[in-house]
Structure 1
Amino acid sequence: MKIALDAMGGDFGPSVTVRGAIEAAPHIQGEILLVGKEDAIQSHLPSNPPANVRIVHAPNEIEMGEEPANAVRRKKDSSLVVAAKMVKTGEADAFVSAGNTGAVTAAAHLFWKCAPSISRPAIATILPSRRERFVLIDSGATPDASVRNLLEFAVMGTAYAEAVLGIEQPKVALLNIGEEPSKGNALTKEAYKAFSAYLPNFAGNIEGKALFHGGADVVVCDAFVGNVLLKTAEGLGSFVMEMFKESVPKNPILRLPLLLLRKGLEDMKRKMDYAEIGGAPLLGVNGICFICHGHSDEKAIRNALLNAHRGYVRHLTDLIEQKACTLKGAVNA
């Protein structure tokens, strides 16, 4: 297999993406294609790079602040667009980028289209919980979702949880303002009925306060709600860590008891570190696509590449289509 990595993507570009690729290379059964400005990439490669890492020159790049759809159409020679098109033409089997999220989504959707039984794509974000982790879907691709879209998100999230995270028979929940079927707006009420009819692993509604307690493996919502939740969680996590650091005594002697908490704190930090997951998959398109945080370091890039490899090897796109086929005849609203 071949993974096209947008080497110019992210806040740090080749200084991070190249190192991430080098770290991932020994674990990839195939090639990592570093797509971007050849000179910039070459300057960060070691003198003897892994044999399965090579450069594909792309002279331009899409900046973080650019309007996604226009940038994809205008900058056909950008690293992001070239990498996405390589999957379309069969020159690559997966696409990884830490670049402009909207542009990555637009490129994959524009060039690859959705899978036959999927009407809209969704971004699946992995979040920590008391049961290790859960999949939040959609966290950014489809803000105006229908009942049918939410059903598709549920089966896509289930497929990802099984194929990449290794969760057997993942439980699916619908994010809502209450647990009762009668709670919520018109969309979530109708979605509850559809989920109950078509999803054997449906565990009911789940409230925001219960998300991190491990009540579900896959949590479904539209992208507007999902993105607000995701950014609120990120902000709250940063706030808690800052408050903890400020409360630590300045006196070294008074700080000694904290050594007893060191392992627990390190475990907590690891569990909450987005770099451990690497990136969020864009599901529902005809290909493997992972979108990394713009501030990703080499560890995050490495893990995104490994998850892309795992998704391809375990036939993630085929599994999604297989599960989505079971929704034939389901509500089209």
Structure 2
Amino acid sequence: MTTPRVVVVGSINMDLVSYSERIPRIGETVLGERFLMVPGGKGANQAVAAARLGAQVILLGAAGTDSHGEQLLRHLQESGIDISHIKKGTTSTGVALINVDIRGNNQIVVVPGANFSLTIRDLEEREQIFANADVVVLQLEIALEVVGKAIEIAGRYKKPVILNPAPAQDLPDQWLGQVDYLIPNEHEALLLGGSPDNNYAALREKIKQVLLVTRGERGALYSTGEAVEIIPAFKVKVVDTTAAGDAFIGGFSVALAEKKPLKEAIIFANAVAALSVGKEGAQTSLPRRQEVEQFIRGDQS
């Protein structure tokens, strides 16, 4: 089988993670139990997830020239990702401040930093990368106009676009009409105008092909316009949900690039996400291909 080629346009962050019994309320201070500093950023997470699953991955993004940036670029390269097109920004590398409670729930604040130095021109100068891709993956931790340009360029070359609309924010309907696979969580789907009362029909109508709503332990709901189906989640012990969504996107992008049928691709992505929540951290929790395939075979045997 030909190695799938995945292009990710997105963020590169250092995650500063605290673990405590519960997440503090507004104005409250709680004592934490542990602290970790680990590689993150939705773009980088999804790129690493795809690379560990066997894809050839190019990441288009930006990092600062500070120590965080140096560590992150070294880690990405060691993860097998092509970092030759990552821009060196003049501001500090992006960071995410993450609080995780005893049940694995999290609360996140992202400070974009250098991520917002990636420009439309940067993408235009790298247009051939899109032309050679099997799948293009996007999120919203970079400047929105850059996301729009990536959708436009991918469409020009008829490449499938996966958009993970996180962090949640309003998006132009024109964009959604060019997105092949929109993959929000329930909160993001509501903000974009969907409702669980009618299986997010109003949102599905805006999308080019498939709406896929991730719902944590309740599995994933997908709608093609002709059918709505729920793919159950795998049952696992939850340690940290920080990277679950990014693991799902990475898994789905690889399955899609490998031309797997939609339902099979979602099951594969569910397995990748399930394995990620059993470990701490973002990129540190992302599984490799053999682990995922063994997990699926074991669960279904």
TM-score, reference length from structure 2: 0.39
Larger Rg: 1
| Structure with the higher fraction of residues in strand conformation | 2
- Give the structure, 1 or 2, with the largest relative contact order (CA under 8 Å, sep 6 or more): 1
| Structure with the higher fraction of residues in helix conformation | 1
TM-score, reference length from structure 1: 0.36
